[in-house]
């Protein structure tokens, strides 16, 4: 007797094989197997740091304090992280023409690093910094973080990473592109997210309201599971996506 996960994997693979417009919505959980902690749950970033370090008003009033934690979490940690099997399978599926887009909440750049091109970064990314005074942009790799807060070489203004802080709006183009995906995808993979942060969490919900099937990959339940998820594959993203890809190879061959 096939176990429940195996049955769900076959069901999910069939749905993916028949998808006309497959999109993915990813959260911190997809990067856990790359060594980057998630935000919530056991060992999560928000269990060690106060989220106010990413509050835009706190940042502007306490740049040095905020930057100390930002460097620690988003640059020291992230810099060493490499894409894991989950990122690599999504890149393979884009190259095969199977996956049309990824809407990611993540700012770790691992989808780009794995080779995905159509990546909508809903919360911006950590690879670029912008001067809060003259708006000049700098690749994060060229900014010396030994001295914090980092200042603009041109006008000595305060530099800020290009990812979205609490209290900031979502980048307009990311918002519009994500809206297109939630109106056009007939299948949405929802990978490694609690679905607790808005407006990002609206994306899979809108897709489901538009009739899309939701395939959720997460060892735990999330805010999507009960009312929006069609098939819940309970497991780690790297393992589940590797298994799905194996099954899809057999379906294509039949």
Name the residues annotated as catalytic.
Answer: 123
Report the residue from 63, 171, 192, 204 that binds ligand APR according to the rule CB under 6 A.
192
Exactly one of 193, 205, 224, 231 binds ligand APR (CB under 6 A); that residue is 193
Q: Give the nearer residue to ligand APR in terms of CB position, either 158 or 233.
A: 233
The β-bridge relationship of strands 119-121 and 231-233 is unpaired
Contact 57, 152 (CB under 8 A): no
Minimum CB separation from ligand APR for residue 74, in Å?
Answer: 11
> Considering the rule CB under 6 A, would residue 41 count as an interface residue with ligand APR?
yes
Residue nearest to ligand APR (CB): 29
Q: Is residue 24 within 8 Å of 216, Cβ to Cβ?
A: no
CA distances from 220 to 40, 181, 204, 205, 223 (A): 12, 25, 17, 18, 10
Applying CB under 6 A, among 158, 218, 229, 231 the residue interacting with ligand APR is 218
Instruction: Please say which residue, 34 or 130, places its beta carbon nearer to ligand APR.
Output: 34
Which is nearer to ligand APR, 103 or 217 (by Cβ)?
Answer: 217
Give least dist CB 147 to ligand APR, A: 26
Our CB check for ligand APR shows the closer of 125 and 130 to be: 125
3-state class of 144 per DSSP? coil
Nearer to ligand APR by Cβ, of 111 and 236: the residue is: 236
Look at residues 189, 225, 247, 191 and name the one whose alpha carbon lies nearest to residue 13: 247
Q: Is 236 in the site for ligand APR (CB under 6 A)?
A: yes
33 binds ligand APR (CB under 6 A): yes
Exposed / middle / buried, residue 41 (Cβ in 10 Å: 0-12, 13-18, 19+)? middle
Interaction residues for ligand APR, span 66-125 (CB under 6 A)? 105, 123
The CB-of-49 to ligand APR minimum distance in angstroms stands at 10
Q: Which is nearer to ligand APR, 194 or 206 (CB)?
A: 194
Among 219, 225, 230, 242, binds ligand APR (CB under 6 A): 219
Token readout for 199 is 């407006």
CA pseudo-torsion sign 182, 184, 187, 189: negative
Instruction: State the DSSP H helix or E strand holding residue 213, giving kind and residue range, or none if neither.
Output: strand 213-217
| Number of residues engaging ligand APR in binding (CB under 6 A) | 24
DSSP-assigned letter for residue 29: G
Task: Work out how close the CB of 41 gets to ligand APR at its nearest, in angstroms, rounded to a whole number.
Answer: 5
Residue 38 is a binding residue for ligand APR (CB under 6 A): yes
User: In a 10 Å sphere around its CB, with 0-12 CB exposed, 13-18 middle and 19+ buried, how is residue 116 labelled?
Assistant: buried
Q: Cα separations (Å) of 38 from 46, 50, 83, 107, 246?
A: 9, 14, 15, 12, 27
Which residues are at the interface with ligand APR (CB under 6 A)?
Answer: 27-29, 32-33, 38-41, 44, 105, 123, 192-194, 196-197, 217-220, 222, 236-237
């Amino acid at each position: 007797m096939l176990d429940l996960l195996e049955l769900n994997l076959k069901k999910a693979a069939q749905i993916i094989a028949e998808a006309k417009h497959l999109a993915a919505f990813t959260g911190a959980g997809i990067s856990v197997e790359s060594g980057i902690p998630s935000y919530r749950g056991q060992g999560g970033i928000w269990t060690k740091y106060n989220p106010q370090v990413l509050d835009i008003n706190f940042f502007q009033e306490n740049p040095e304090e905020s930057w100390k934690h930002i460097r620690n979490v988003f640059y020291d940690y992230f810099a060493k992280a490499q894409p894991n099997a989950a990122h690599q399978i999504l890149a393979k599926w884009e190259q095969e023409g199977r996956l049309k887009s990824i809407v990611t909440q993540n700012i770790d750049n691992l989808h780009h690093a794995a080779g995905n091109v159509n990546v909508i970064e809903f919360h911006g990314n950590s690879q670029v910094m912008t001067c809060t005074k003259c708006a000049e942009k700098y690749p994060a790799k060229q900014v010396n973080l030994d001295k914090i807060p980092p200042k603009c070489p041109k006008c000595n203004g305060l530099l800020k990473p290009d990812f979205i802080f609490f209290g900031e709006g979502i980048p307009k183009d990311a918002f519009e592109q994500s809206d297109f995906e939630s109106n056009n995808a007939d299948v949405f993979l929802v990978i490694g997210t609690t679905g607790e942060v808005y407006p990002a969490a609206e994306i899979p919900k809108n897709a489901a309201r538009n009739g899309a099937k939701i395939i959720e990959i997460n060892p735990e339940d999330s805010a999507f599971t009960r009312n929006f998820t069609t098939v819940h594959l309970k497991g780690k993203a790297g393992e589940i996506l590797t298994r799905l890809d194996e099954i899809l190879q057999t379906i294509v061959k039949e």
